[in-house]
Chains A and B, each alone.
Chain A
Amino acid sequence: MVTISVLVLLGLGLLTAAILAAASRVFHVSEDPRVAAVLEALPGANCGGCGFAGCEGYAKAVVTDPSLPPNRCCAGGAATAAKVSELTGKAAAASEAMHSFRRCNKRQGNVGLRYTYQGIPSCAAVAALADGAEMCSYSCLGYGDCVSSCPFDALSIRDGLAVVDEAACTGCGKCAEVCPRHVLELVPSRARVAVTCATLDKLKAVTEVCGVGCIKCLRCVKACPAKAVQLENGRIQIDHEKCLAHGDSCGQACVASCARKALCSLRPVLLEPLAKAEEKTA
């Protein structure tokens, strides 16, 4: 009795081991060890900011595709880009650090309520109900869909408005995707100015609901010497590359020209570069 059971189990064990050993040889899939190394170097947040489903997707793609740049990971920043470029042997071009920006100042503009909302506490739900609870159909709703979508805890809701923690924000763009009103937008961290309104309405339709909304008077468009401010798809958009390339000599004319305070300055104006100023006084 004992011998039979021992022999049967032994035989079964050996057979299974043999089959599995053979299978591991026959079905061996050779994987590029670089993929594993790149995956180690990536932060593992799986935020999707690189445009791939997860860190593994990007790791595989950057090793196999020679044209994919190694600096796509916004969560890891420059340090990760350097490591990945070292592992894949690609040159790391400096990529522009971005962060999220909220295009809405409804509190400053005293935007009222259309109705009191009591329902699913989600921006997508409120936005779907008769264009939202606020008088302005394009304002920030403040129910926090962006907060829950952020993999880095960089957003919070204060006084019904989404607030971005620039230190924590990596510019992955998840919040911008999730926001049903497209109030959140990625702007370069170096940006000098930004538009603080996301409305598609014009003139009286805006002045009726908000004190600081953009009325599309286009004064800013005319004021910009670099033609970096344009009306695109019903909103004022700033081409930050052109703006930064032109520099401070315009004195942030767009901000000054706006009668509605719909543009804000993100950096102080340096009218003359420091070196030149020293020359003058010397």
Chain B
Amino acid sequence: MDVFELFISAIFVNNIVLAQYLGNCPYLGCSRDKGTAIGMGFAVVFVIIMATLCTWYMQHSVLVPFGLGYLQTIVFILVIAGLVQFVEMFLKKMVPPLYAALGIFLPLITTNCAVMGVAILVQREEYDLVTSLLYALAASFGFMLALVLMAGIRERLETCRVPRAMAGTPIALIMAGLMSLAFMAFKGMTS
């Protein structure tokens, strides 16, 4: 039941982009059509899980034993950047179809607040490894859900008469606000 609650909480109640404000930049940038949105979503799931895994080990085997908690920011970002670079090279050589599908999104995700945010969040909540990974999976699925929903709405917006000043980012932000309002309805689900 705990796992179920964790999942519901991470995907709906505390959606990382709509309730925790993480990952807004790619959220607005890659939500123009469903294809890009799904590609970006899967790339984010992939990267967040691996980043959480690596940074968790970094924290518990290097930073904590040496008492270097204050270096968390630098170490995490360097590990994430290096990891994404490595994964890109690996995919390009070993799994070209996957690289063709997700490859272009990988550099975008390196410095994405969502990845770094989740990595730091699981440390602050002091989750163990398994819970951290489950949380990472759930949170990134929440991101993908919000992204795909937004892409669907924006595709419809293409044929609507939007006031010129609102076209593009402003209307997308207002849509995000309304979606966030809708997701707030889940607030009572977990205690």
Contact = CB atoms under 8 A, between A and B. Distances in A.
Interface string B148-168: 000000000001110000000
B159 A9 contact: no
B62 interface: yes
B71 A5 contact: yes
B124 interface: no
Given A27-B93, A27-B94, A28-B93, A5 B68 contact: yes
B78 A122 contact: no
Contacts of B94: 27
Nearest to B71: A5
B8 interface: no
A128 interface: no
Contacts of A24: 89
A27 B160 CA distance: 47
B71 A27 contact: no
Interface in B64-89: 66-68, 71, 74-75, 78-79, 82, 85-86, 89
B90 interface: yes
A20 interface: yes
A20 B89 CA distance: 9
A231 interface: no
A125 interface: yes
A26 B160 CA distance: 50
Nearest to B156: A120
Contacts, number: 46
Interface residues of B, number: 20
A20 B159 contact: no
A20 B78 contact: no
B92 interface: yes
A20 B66 contact: no
B161 A121 contact: yes
A19 B82 contact: yes
Nearest to B94: A27
Contacts of B93: 26-29
A28 B159 CA distance: 45
A16 B68 contact: no
B68 A4 contact: yes
Contact of A20 (B86, B92, B160): B86
B159 A19 contact: no
A114 to B, nearest CB: 21
Interface string A14-50: 0010011001101111000000000000000000000
A12 interface: yes
A271 interface: no
A9 B82 contact: no
A140 B90 CA distance: 51
A71 B67 CA distance: 65
14 contacts: A4-B66, A5-B71, A12-B62, A12-B75, A16-B79, A16-B82, A20-B85, A20-B89, A23-B89, A26-B93, A27-B89, A27-B90, A120-B159, A121-B161
